[in-house]
Chain A
Amino acid sequence: MDSRIESKIGKAGTVPVVPGAVRRLRRGRWREVFIETFLRLNGFIAIAAILLIFIFLFKEGIQAFRTIPAGHFLQSQELDFDNVPQTVRLWQPVGQNPKYSLIPLLLGSFLVALPGTLIATIFGVACGIYLAEIAGKRTREVIKPAIELLAGVPSVVIGFFCLATLATFVQDALGTTFRLNAMVGALGVSLVIVPVIATMTDDALRAVPGYLREGAHALGANRWETITRVVVPAGASGLVAAILLGMGRALGETMIVLMATGNAAQVTLNPFDSVRTMTATIAAELGAVPQGGEQYRALFLVGSLLFVMTFLINLVAELAVARMRRRLAL
């Protein structure tokens, strides 16, 4: 850009100055300044938006502590039929004695996110390695857009598929007690994050400089040894980032889990039980509660917690990417 301006100025010295040209030049300058400012502003807006969302969530969520004792977010007491107090961990925000234990929701979220991420990691990483290291140019040109297409399927459609088809299939295959359970949700969620992990793995491995592959081949490593002993270790931090970002997405996924997991908030570690995630709880309840009430605030607290968790996961992922760049001296 600059050199073009300079050459125009240079020309202006030898030929008579055309007023229109100077004006055009000046306008070009302004446009540049404008675009630059606009782009910078966008960067700041992104940061500001994150901060604002955080403040908005927290401001509301923190007020839940005004009426609900902190301990009740873990467990609370309830009298059983014989009037003996029992410790319960329930999310039961309606009724005489509402209960706000976050434990079943946290367990629900992780029972979906962890198996979902695990399944997606296996397929996504394999797919990414295939794309970056094995597929020829033409195959790549078909597969990569296909994967990106999968990422574009609305999650309600995937949820629908899970609810209607996959759930039956899983129950027939494994004989689970509940048709809708965490595993069905995990499978659905993995469909959404396989593309995330695959594309990011592909990016990470393609960022590994070619001279490392060349060096490995020159030492007699075959393609497989080059991939497993040089390329993947070199891109390992990028792979970690890919998996973490996938997990962040899995924790935040709402529609699929709402439709596929059965939505029973219970304390369980069995991935074939019905569960209810943090996201599904917010989505299902927030619209139906009075604004500013106790449950409303408790839901905001759940949202704040979710926000902090995904934020931390994404932060670690970013650090991993930075680490990889540093390690490879890119």
Chain B
Amino acid sequence: MKSSAMVTPRPAREAVSNASPAKVAFGGVSFSYPGRQALSGVTLDVPERRVTAIIGPSGCGKSTLIKSINRIAEIGTEVKVEGRVTIDGQDVYAPGVDLVDLRRRVGMLFQKANPFPKSIFENVAFGPRIHGASRAGDLDQAVERSLRQAALWDEVKDRLGTSAMELSGGQQQRLCLARVLAVDPEVILMDEPCSALDPISTARIEELIEELRERYTVVIVTHNMQQAARVSDRTAFLLNGQLVEVDDTETIFTTPADRRTEDYITGRFG
């Protein structure tokens, strides 16, 4: 067994390699911004109800990869996409795809917690309102359920009307998670969700991810090797827009197949 610096993978789970059907699948995906190709020929299966970590050095295309699933990457710019990105076998780039519905099914947490400058309640109610909920009772219920799921309810239940901007960074990120959960997504994307958080807040988010994997398919981009090892079932290593290797997390962190993966996780570059 190759030594892997300071990374201890999570206790072995059942191997997922072949156990779980793909919820999201990339088939030979190339993705270009004007004058810049960010992904080339990525083929990757994201298993259902598992946590998949995407690792790789800055600029290798991690954000583009996950934002191509909910088609956020194309906002405000022109992009060219080749290959297929599918959810439950349906191509998300097919003509006539309902983006509103796609984004309801695929929620996202960002690197910087981005609550709206509105009340805590209104932040969580935002998604349900967009998707047509208007009965006060339904909204109250959705808000409470989501805040509980995001382990934030007890901290904010007495001040749902105060501005979300008054919460701490960690609370804001959990609020953003509640906001995503309120629309009942199937897939949750996380783009370095803890990179701006202190260790305690990070630990809380990681606990939440552990709970989320029971019901949701989670894809998390992280710079932090330990975090990938702690929270994920599968890990994909991306380099210069290409998928170098994807495997069970334990395998990646103990016996990676590719030399470049080993160099990266042992901190020799990136």
Question: Using a CB–CB distance below 8 Å, which chain A residues touch chain B?
Answer: 209-222, 225, 229-230, 233-234, 327-329
Contacts and interface: CB of A to CB of B under 8 A. Distances in A.
B130 A220 contact: yes
A217 B183 contact: no
Contact of B117 (A210, A214, A225, A234): A234
28 contacts: A211-B112, A212-B116, A212-B117, A214-B72, A214-B75, A214-B114, A215-B115, A215-B179, A217-B72, A218-B70, A218-B103, A218-B107, A219-B103, A219-B126, A219-B180, A219-B183, A220-B101, A220-B102, A220-B103, A220-B130, A221-B130, A225-B130, A229-B126, A233-B117, A233-B118, A234-B116, A327-B165, A328-B165
A219 B110 contact: no
A220 B126 CA distance: 10
Q: Name the prevailing secondary structure of the B interface residues.
A: mixed
B62 interface: no
Consensus secondary structure, chain A interface: helix
Contact of A222 (B100, B114, B127): B100
B103 A211 contact: no
B114 A215 contact: yes
B116 A230 contact: yes
A234 B180 CA distance: 20
A16 to B, nearest CB: 42
Given A219-B180, A219-B183, A233-B116, 20 more contacts: A210-B76, A212-B114, A214-B110, A214-B114, A215-B114, A216-B126, A218-B72, A218-B107, A218-B180, A219-B126, A219-B130, A220-B99, A220-B104, A220-B127, A222-B99, A229-B130, A234-B117, A327-B117, A328-B117, A328-B165
Interface in B57-76: 70, 72, 75-76
B177 to A, nearest CB: 12
A185 to B, nearest CB: 38
B222 to A, nearest CB: 18
A215 B102 CA distance: 14
Interface string B70-108: 101001100000000000000000000001111110011
A218 B75 CA distance: 10
Interface residues of B, number: 29
A215 B110 contact: yes
B251 interface: no
Interface in B106-144: 107-108, 110, 112, 114-118, 126-127, 130-131
B163 interface: yes
Interface string B189-229: 00000000000000000000000000000000000000000
A26 B161 CA distance: 59
B129 to A, nearest CB: 8
A327 B118 CA distance: 9
Contacts of A230: 116
Contacts of A209: 114
B33 to A, nearest CB: 15
A230 B129 CA distance: 13
Given A217-B72, A219-B179, A211 B114 contact: yes
Contacts of A221: 126, 130
B29 to A, nearest CB: 19
A220 B107 CA distance: 9
Contacts of B107: 218-219
Interface centre among B115, B127, B130, by most chain A C-beta atoms within 10 angstroms, is B130
Contact of A217 (B75, B101, B112): B75
